[in-house]
Structure 1
Amino acid sequence: MHHCGQVTLEQVGELSEIFQWRGEVAEGLPDFSPADREHVGEELSDVLLYLVRLADVCKIDLAAAVQDKLKKNAAK
């Protein structure tokens, strides 16, 4: 499991590097080139895939956890 968690963190890091020096980013990424937009999509996909795998390894029902979190956030 340690490896799965570490890889997930690495993927989040790769995604964050894309945005690190761009400051505020407008909705729809209008200032991104097509190649940069594709790169964002690839990194988001990597993060999602590894996150789902990590939840599976941890035996966390991710859909239920998201629903619980949304309820908690709505109550704030």
Structure 2
Amino acid sequence: NERPLTQKSNYGIEPVNNTIFGLNSNFSTEIPFLTRLANKLPNIDTDVPSNLSLRGEVAFLQPNSPKNADFQGETTT
């Protein structure tokens, strides 16, 4: 969360009140079916388990102006 230090703003610099939301996720599992499928290929014989791993990340920035700055609730650019 980002907020201005003072209620005053200099020319060319606008106060901000940005909020960032984020989510990270990891998923991992063993899939013995893939090991058995690989063993059916010619010249391949393995006993190491197969793994499936998924990773994801999502982020969102919500721009806003501070309540004490008189911009009628709008963020200017």
Q: TM-score under structure 1 normalisation?
A: 0.21
- Structure with more strand by fraction: 2
**Larger Rg belongs to:** 2
- Structure with more helix by fraction: 1
Q: TM-score under structure 2 normalisation?
A: 0.21
